[in-house]
Amino acid sequence: MSWVAQTGVAYLAFATLSGWLMVVVVERPEWLSRAGVRAPGRFRQAHIDWILMALILIAVGLAVPELGTVWQVLLVAGTIVNPALFVPMAFRPEVRDHVLFRGVSIASFTAMSLSTVAAAVTAIA
């Protein structure tokens, strides 16, 4: 199994475990408020995105194991960073307007876009 798929399986375990955070969001939202969370819905977005990104890694890792190393690295980086961007927004929703946050977001989305297109081209070629 490719390292991308292996990463995806490990990431899926993490994503599944993040479901416990969803229990806290629903059952004990006051814990989050005390921890400084202002937008707990961002955790739901992260949880769903973590699951989807893990599935992307598994699918691409299994379907296109010959994908170039640069594209593999960009894919894994993008799938990790994209959902992680929801976490700071849970604490400070206004962070999305910060230039560094925007830069990381753009870089991450670009990595995902380029690597998934490269995977498609590699698979079709």
Q: Are 57 and 115 in contact (CB under 8 A)?
A: no
pTM of the model: 0.93
- Which residue, among 51, 50, 52, has the nearest Cα to 87 in the 3D structure? 50
pLDDT at site 118: 98
Q: Are 55 and 8 in contact (CB under 8 A)?
A: yes
Phi/psi of residue 28, nearest 5 degrees: -135, 55
pLDDT tens track for 71-116? 999 999 999 999 999 999 999 999 999 999 999 999 999 999 999 9
Mean of all residue pLDDT scores within the chain: 97
pLDDT at site 32: 95
pLDDT at site 50: 97
Rounded (10°) angle between helices 19-27 and 3-17: 20
Q: How confident is the model at residue 66 (pLDDT cuts 50, 70, 90)?
A: very high
Q: How confident is the model at residue 40 (pLDDT cuts 50, 70, 90)?
A: very high
> Residue 88: is it exposed, middle or buried by C-beta count within 10 angstroms (0-12/13-18/19+)?
middle
pLDDT at site 6: 98
